Amino acid sequence: MTRTLTLRRPDDWHLHLRDGAMMHAVLPWTARHFARAIIMPNLVPPVVTPADAAAYRDRILAATPRGSGFRPLMTLYLTEETQPRDVRAAAEIGLIAAVKLYPAGATTNSASGVKDFSKVRRVLETMAQVGLPLCVHGEVTDAEVDIFDREAAFLDRVLDPIRRDLPELRVVLEHVTTTDGVAYVREGGDGIAGTITAHHLVLNRNHLLAGGIRPHYYCLPVAKRETHRRALVGAATSGEASFFLGTDSAPHTDAAKLQPCGCAGCFTAPNALSVLAEVFEAEGALDRLEAFASLNGPAFYRLEPNAETITLERAAPEDVPAQIDTEDGPVTVFDPGMALHWRVSGG
């Protein structure tokens, strides 16, 4: 049995750090293991201008543990008022690595998202010209569409028309949760990729709902049927270049999660790599973990993989804290419902 595994240092291609006291509490957990991360812009107010992105980047860097080498990759929140010239300027100076599309109302702090996609066409054209990826939360928000069908509907109604109209636009379908999403990425050519989270690799909707509601498993997109989870595992462990890790680690205080209308999100930063190693080991695919966690993402974003390495060790189950404390209140760490034998050496 393999006992150690050395990888290029991984990156996280979808991360929520929040701001203020919460950011100071959760950022060190990402910086322990990950060299870079695509930072989500859905603050309140959102990160919509280059000045917003620069200021947020500086706050992140000020809170980053000394010596970690962690580098935030900033994004802009796409609104119907976003100006093409601002996107072009921010991309050309290397301030941003992507632009994020939230359909209005799709998830946490997404009220400023896009309702009329014709109003963002010029921005998308500019992004295609400069090679800037569009990261999409792939769900429609129409009330008549079942929440378990919203990813598939988004592909048909929104994403496919955009990509047919602008085939040169590079797109990341974030946190893929369905067989439909996996197939769409696989069949979409070099211009599209999909991120997969650690928690969607181990959760199906029974974990969320059977025997009682488990609020700490509630995330958006919501976990789907077991057939969909198995498709995600197959994609992640395949070694295919179009799939890579985006944890979507999304911290909320327990007070925000445990209420009649609780927040969506799983805080996985402390144990995402351990969960991945368990999943890949179970599939006999540990030799493909580096591609998923460390190589495929940089290749799509046209960056070099990290030069430094980390080593995972298999030993007694890792003792991950059940909660972390923040000045805003405790945040529960994702519990995958299984023992985690893999841990990052020295981390």
Of the residues 248, 287, 319, 325, which is catalytic?
A: 248
d(CA 107, CA 274): 26
19 labelled catalytic:
no
Give whole-number Cα distances, 167 to 39, 164, 188, 203, in Å.
25, 5, 10, 33
Helix, strand, coil shares of the chain as percentages rounded to 5? Answer: 40, 15, 45
Give me the DSSP letters along 249-294.
Answer: B----HHHHSSTTPPP-BB-TTTHHHHHHHHHHHTT-GGGHHIIII
Single out the residue of 222, 224, 233, 177 nearest to residue 204, CA to CA.
224
Tell me the Ramachandran region of residue 316: left when phi exceeds 0, alpha when psi lies from -120 to 50, beta otherwise: beta
Rg, C-alpha atoms of the chain: 19
Cα dist from 67 to 79, 114, 139, 173, whole Å: 36, 39, 38, 32
Q: Which residues are catalytic?
A: 248
